[in-house]
Chain A
Amino acid sequence: MQNATEVNHLKTKAGLLSGLAALGPTYGALMALTLLVLLNLLFTPNFAASNNFWNVLLQVTPTMLVAVGMTFVIATAGIDLSVGSVMAIASALAATNLDRGVGAAILLALAVSFSLGALNGALIAGFRIQPIIVTLALLISGRGIAQVISHGGQLIPFSNQSFEYLGKGHVGPVPFQVLVMLSVIAAAIFLLRMTSFGRYVLAVGGNEAAARLAGVKIHRTKLLVYALSGLLAGVAGLIETARLGASDAAKVGLNIELDAIAAVVVGGTTLAGGRATVAGTVIGALIMQVLTTSFNMGPLGLRPVPFSWALVFKAAIIIFAVYIQRRRVA
Chain B
Amino acid sequence: MGQSTTTIDEAGSTRGRVARGRMASFIQRQGALVALLGVLIFATVRYEDFLTERNLFNVLRQNSMLGLVALGMTFVILTGGIDLSVGSLLAVAGVVAANLAGHGMIAALLIAVAFTTLLGLLNGIIIDRARIQPFIVTLAMMIAARGLALAATGEESVRVDKLSEDFTWLGQGKLGPVPVPVLILVIAYGLGWLVLRHTRFGRHVYALGDNEEAARLMGLNVGRVTLGVYALSGALSGLGGVLLASRLGAGQPVAGTGWELDAIAAVVVGGTLLTGGQGGSGATLVGVLLLGIIFNVFNLEGTISSWWQWVLRGVFLLAVVVMQNSLSRRK
Q: List A residues 114-142 near B (Cβ within 8 Å).
A: 123, 127-130, 132-134, 136-142
Residue of A nearest to B326 (CB): A127
Task: Select the residue from B136, B321, B322 with max chain A CB neighbours within 10 A.
Answer: B136
Assembled-state Cα–Cα distance A323/B313 (Å): 37
Known: A315-B147, A318-B140. A137 touches B264 (CB 8 A): no
Assembled-state Cα–Cα distance A132/B264 (Å): 10
Chain B contact residues, majority secondary structure: helix
Contact assessment for B132 and A322 in the assembled complex, using a CB-CB cutoff below 8 Å = yes
Assembled-state Cα–Cα distance A323/B305 (Å): 45
Q: Mark B137-148, 1 if CB is under 8 A from A, else 0.
A: 101111110111
Assembled-state Cα–Cα distance A127/B318 (Å): 11
Question: Chain B contacts of A144 at CB under 8 A?
Answer: 306-314
Question: Chain B contacts of A262 at CB under 8 A?
Answer: 139, 143
Residue of B nearest to A309 (CB): B151
Cross-chain contact of A272 among B133, B144, B151, B309 (Cβ < 8 A)? B133
Residue of B nearest to A138 (CB): B314
Contact assessment for A133 and B317 in the assembled complex, using a CB-CB cutoff below 8 Å = yes
Q: Mark A140-152, 1 if CB is under 8 A from B, else 0.
A: 1111110110001
Q: Cβ of B325 < 8 Å from any Cβ of A?
A: yes
Q: Give the size category of A's interface with B.
A: 35 or more
Contact assessment for B307 and A152 in the assembled complex, using a CB-CB cutoff below 8 Å = yes
Contact assessment for B147 and A311 in the assembled complex, using a CB-CB cutoff below 8 Å = yes
Contact assessment for B264 and A136 in the assembled complex, using a CB-CB cutoff below 8 Å = yes
Cross-chain contact of A323 among B130, B141, B147, B307 (Cβ < 8 A)? B130
Contact assessment for B147 and A140 in the assembled complex, using a CB-CB cutoff below 8 Å = no
Q: Cβ of B131 < 8 Å from any Cβ of A?
A: yes
Contact assessment for A308 and B150 in the assembled complex, using a CB-CB cutoff below 8 Å = yes
Contact assessment for B132 and A148 in the assembled complex, using a CB-CB cutoff below 8 Å = no
Contact assessment for B151 and A315 in the assembled complex, using a CB-CB cutoff below 8 Å = no
Cross-chain contact of A316 among B144, B313, B314, B325 (Cβ < 8 A)? B144
Q: Cβ of A326 < 8 Å from any Cβ of B?
A: yes
Contact assessment for B325 and A128 in the assembled complex, using a CB-CB cutoff below 8 Å = yes
Contact assessment for B313 and A329 in the assembled complex, using a CB-CB cutoff below 8 Å = no
Q: Cβ of B57 < 8 Å from any Cβ of A?
A: no
**18 additional contacts, CB 8 Å, given A144-B311, A308-B155, A315-B142?**
A123-B318, A127-B322, A127-B325, A129-B322, A130-B274, A133-B321, A140-B314, A141-B312, A141-B314, A142-B314, A145-B307, A153-B307, A306-B151, A308-B150, A311-B146, A315-B144, A319-B126, A319-B137
Q: Please report A residues at the B interface, Cβ cutoff 8 Å.
A: 79, 81, 123, 127-130, 132-134, 136-145, 147-148, 152-153, 258, 261-262, 265, 270-272, 306-316, 318-319, 322-323, 326, 329
Q: Please report B residues at the A interface, Cβ cutoff 8 Å.
A: 82, 126, 130-133, 135-137, 139-144, 146-151, 155, 261, 264-265, 268, 274-275, 305-315, 317-318, 321-322, 325-326, 329
- CB<8 Å pairs between A and B, sample of 13: A123-B318, A133-B265, A134-B318, A137-B321, A140-B317, A148-B308, A258-B142, A272-B133, A306-B151, A311-B146, A314-B143, A319-B132, A329-B131
